[in-house]
Amino acid sequence: MPTILVLVDHADGVVRKTTTELLTLARRAGDPVAVFLGSGYESARETLAAYGATKVYVAESSDFGTYLVAPEAEVLAQIAATTEPAAILLPSSPDGKEIAGRLAVKLQSGIITDAVDIDADLTTTQSVFAAEYSVTSRVTHGTPIITVKPNSAAPEPAASTPEEEKVTVSISDTAKRATVVERSERETTGRPDLAEAAVVVSGGRGTGGDFGPVEALADALGGAVGASRAAVDSGWYPHAHQVGQTGQTVSPQLYIAAGISGAIQHRAGMQTSKTIVAVDKDPEAPIFAMVDFGVVGDLHTVLPRATEEITKRQG
Ligand code: FAD
C-alpha cells in the first residue's frame, strides 16, 4: 500500500477533528502515516491510533511554535524525502495552506488546495463559484500535496497500533528568520469550535446587531455561533465566525440561520449541514428554499422562546 502522509493539526497535542477527517480520506488511497510536529504528542497518540494511522513520525520541538510555519514545512519536506509518499494531506487552515505552498516549492510538486473530496486514485474534488460547480483534478507532477477543507468527510474510526518514529529536528537558520513575538488568546467563550461544532446558530443582518438571542440559543444547544458577512461587515461579530464563501465552511448536524436571507455566498459555507432551520420575518426570503424547517417570524421573539423551551426540557 502506498504511504499517504497526513500532517496532524493539533493544539498542544489535542488533535483537531480535521485530522480525523484527513486520516479517513487517506485510508482510501493507502496507508495513512501521521506526522506530528510540536509538543504534547502523548495527548495525540490515542486519537491517531483510533483513526487508523499505521505509523506516526513524531518531531517534538518548541521551535515549531516560535518561527511561524517555515520549520514545519522544512521538517515535513525532510520526512517526505525519506518516505516517498504517494501524497501529502494537510488541513485547509491558514497555516496548513501556507505549509502546503512552501512544501510544494521544496518538493517541486503540484498542489491542490481546498479539496472537498479525495478518491482512491488521488483524484480530488474542489467546490468552486459558491459551490455551483465541482472541479475534479489530479496532481501530475511530483508528490501530490492536497489541502482539505474541514467537514469534507465524516471521520470513521479504524483502530490501529501505529509504529512510532522519533524524528530528530534540525531546522535551518533560513526557516528561523521570522519569529513570533507575541500571541494573544482568542476570546474564550467556552463554546465549541465553529468548524467542528455539531450545532451552529448563526445570525445575520436581521439581528440588528444584537447577537444575544443567537448566543443564548447556541448555549442552550451546546453549539457554536456563526455570522453572515453582513453581520461581520457591520462590526457586530468577529470575522472568525463568518460562515460562507469567504468565511468558514461548516457541516453540523443542525444549522440554525436567524435573520439571514440565504445569499449564495452564505449557502456555500453551510449547505451540507444535515438539518437546516431558518428563522426570518420575510416569508419570501431565499433561505426558505433550502431549509428542512422554516419559521416565519421576528428572531428576537422566536429565538428566546426556543431557548426557553429547550432549557425547560433539559430540566
Ligand atoms: P440580508 O441579505 O440583508 O438578509 C437579512 C435577512 O434578515 C432578511 O431575509 C430579512 O428578512 C431578515 N430579517 C430582518 N430583520 C429580521 C428579524 N427581526 N427577524 C428575523 N428576520 C429578520 N455572505 C456570507 O454570509 N458569507 C460569506 O462568506 C460571503 N462571502 C461573500 C463573497 C463575495 C465575493 C460576495 C460578493 C459576497 C459575499 N457574501 C457573503 C455576502 C452575501 O452576498 C450577502 O450579502 C450576505 O450573506 C447577506 O447577509 P444577511 O443574509 O445577513 O443579510
> Which residue ranges have their beta carbon within 6 Å of ligand 1?
204-206, 228-231, 242-247, 259-261, 263, 265-266, 269, 279-282, 285, 298-300
* 15 and 87 together in one domain: yes
Mean pLDDT of the region 165-185: 89
Order across the sheet with 55-60: list the strands: 133-137, 124-128, 111-118, 145-148, 87-91, 3-7, 31-38, 55-60, 163-166
79 inside domain: yes
Q: Give pLDDT tens digits for 31-62.
A: 999 999 999 999 999 999 999 999 999 999 88
Instruction: Give the pLDDT confidence of 72-103 residue by residue, as tens digits.
Output: 999 999 999 999 999 999 999 889 999 999 99
What total of structural domains would you count in the chain?
2
Q: Using CA positions, which residue lies closest to atom 51 of ligand 1?
A: 260
Indicate which CATH number applies to the domain containing 35: 3.40.50.620
pLDDT category of residue 314 using cuts at 50, 70 and 90: confident
**Do residues 273 and 145 both lie within one domain?**
no
Domain co-membership, 69 together with 171: yes
- Do 37 and 170 lie in one domain? The reply is yes
Q: Is 126 annotated as a binding residue?
A: no
- Does 194 fall in a domain? no
Q: What is the pLDDT confidence band of residue 109, given thresholds at 50, 70 and 90?
A: very high
E strand residue ranges, the chain: 3-7, 10-11, 14-15, 31-38, 55-60, 87-91, 111-118, 124-128, 133-137, 145-148, 163-166, 199-203, 224-227, 254-258, 275-280, 293-296
Give the three cell numbers for residue 6. 497526513
Please identify, among 159, 175, 191, the residue that sits at the C-terminal boundary of a domain: 175
Confidence of residue 186 (pLDDT cuts 50, 70, 90): low
**Is 260 marked as binding a ligand?**
yes
Name every residue whose Cβ is closer than 8 Å to that of residue 200 and which is 6 or more positions away in sequence.
194, 218, 223, 224, 225, 226, 243, 250, 252, 254, 255, 256, 270, 273
Among protein residues, the one whose CA lies closest to atom 3 of ligand 1: 205
Q: How far is the CA of 263 from the centre of ligand 1 (A)?
A: 6
Domain range spanning residue 44? 3-175
The answer to whether 247 and 224 are in contact (CB under 8 A) is: no
242 is in an annotated binding site: yes
- Is 241 annotated among the ligand-binding residues? no
Both 163 and 67 in one domain: the answer is yes
Residues 144 and 255 in one domain: no
In a domain, 180, yes or no: no
> Is residue 188 assigned to a domain?
no
- What digits encode the pLDDT tens for the residues 207-244? 999 999 999 999 999 999 999 999 999 999 999 999 99
Ligand 1 pocket mutation, candidates 114, 149, 200, 205, criterion most atoms within 8 A of CB? 205
Q: Does some domain include residue 78?
A: yes
Q: How far is it, in rounded angstroms, from Cα 250 to Cα 269?
A: 6
- pLDDT band for position 187 (cuts 50, 70, 90): low
Percent of the chain exceeding pLDDT 70 equals: 99
Both 149 and 292 in one domain: the answer is no
**Do 59 and 165 reside in the same domain of the chain?**
yes
**Which ligand 1 atom is at minimum distance from the Cα of 282?**
11
Q: Determine the atom of ligand 1 nearest the C-alpha atom of 228.
A: 25
Query: What pLDDT does residue 195 have?
Result: 85
Same domain, 244 and 299: yes
Q: What is the pLDDT of residue 214?
A: 98
287 C-alpha to center of ligand 1: Å?
10
Report the nearest-CA residue for atom 25 of ligand 1: 228
The answer as to whether 217 is a domain residue is yes
- Per-residue pLDDT tens for 111-154? 999 999 999 999 999 987 766 789 999 999 999 999 998 888 88
